[in-house]
Amino acid sequence: MLLLMGDGGRWLKQPRCCNPMNALFNNLFSKLMGRGPEHYFDKAVDAFHAHQFAKALELFNTYEELSGDGSVALYYNKAQCYEGMEEWKEAEDTYRYCIEAVPEDPEAQYMMGRFYYDRGEPEKALQHLVNANAYSDQHQGDVDALSVLGFVYEDLQDPEQAIATYEKVLSLDRNLMMVRIFLSNLYIRMKKLDKAREYLPRPEEIDATDVDLNLELATTYGRLGSWPDTKTCCHRALQIDERNAQVYNQLGLAHYCCHEYDKAVEHYQKALEIDPSYDIATNNLAYTFEKMDRFEDAIRIFNQYLILVKNDPQEASDVKDHIAYLVNALESERQAQQAASDAD
């Protein structure tokens, strides 16, 4: 989230800005030219939303130079520009600067925790997110920080803490559908299926235009064996993005589990038409052909799958063994057919 500056921005104890007299001169000159500091700030926001992160950072720096603004909120924006540029050390240092300036600022703690979580460092994220909730002006905590804290607990293999955190989030806002889905998945993993269904949204409750949300819900319904709901969510997702290989794969799985093998093949093949390197769909298609006793097709697709998993020695070994099994099965079938033909 890009923080838009307002009149009430927090200020650093030691603002980073240019010489005050230079700033005053530049500000006056800029106004005479018809371009106040806010012009550069607005342009920076536009550049950020256009994913022109280097340009946005340059414009934020110009805004700071002209305005003398050294607020924490401005530095949040700079840090996010560094993230967009994949300059991780600069982003981390900038977020840390914000925390050092205002240690009990919940936003600074949240942004630092979210940064570490996105970088795959949940251990570092944990304390910052705990702090963000402790320092929050809201009595029960901050919904965004709590949500990411739940993700962190999941990554740290602490399902009980994750569940408690997600339930607290939903006590603040029941309409956070992705959190409800994540909580349902946790209960599924713990074999508490009634609790999973209690929190899982119905397809009609979620945003019909959100592909990721529909796919996540479809996958979760699949884990519960609710294949009609899985199909509903997949079809809704495909109305928005008809080139989504993951959705076609999930829809193929739903048809496979309903013993609708021809339709399963159709959707797996569509997924692979979109993404030929999609190993999961390749594996699923091969097994579907095997289920249909189409052994030649199954062997052909398993050989394609073998190429995709060649860097996984155990998986590659298992696939080779299964291909050998299918070759023997195919040979036995041919011998049986030949024997039957000879008998005639």
Instruction: Indicate if the alpha-carbon torsion angle 108, 114, 119, 125 is positive or negative.
Output: positive
Per the model's pLDDT, the better-predicted residue between 126 and 33 turns out to be 126
Q: Identify the CA nearest to 70 among candidates 11, 5, 8, 3.
A: 11
Q: Nearest 10 degrees: CA dihedral of 220, 224, 229, 233?
A: 10
Lowest mean pLDDT among 59-63, 266-270, 334-338: 334-338
Token pair, residue 279, equals: 């190993």
pLDDT computed for residue 141 by the predictor: 62
Distance (Å, rounded) from C-alpha 297 to C-alpha 71? 64
- β-partners of residue 11 are 71
pTM: 0.77
- Mean predicted confidence (pLDDT) in 136-145: 71
Token pair, residue 129, equals: 């997110």
pLDDT computed for residue 332 by the predictor: 87
Interval 274-324: pLDDT, tens: 999 999 999 999 999 999 999 999 999 999 999 999 999 999 999 999 999
Helix axes 143-155, 106-118, angle to 10 degrees: 30
pLDDT computed for residue 36 by the predictor: 82
CATH architecture of 10-102: Alpha Horseshoe (1.25)
| pLDDT band of 3, cuts 50, 70, 90 | very low
pLDDT computed for residue 338 by the predictor: 82
Domain boundaries, the chain: 10-102
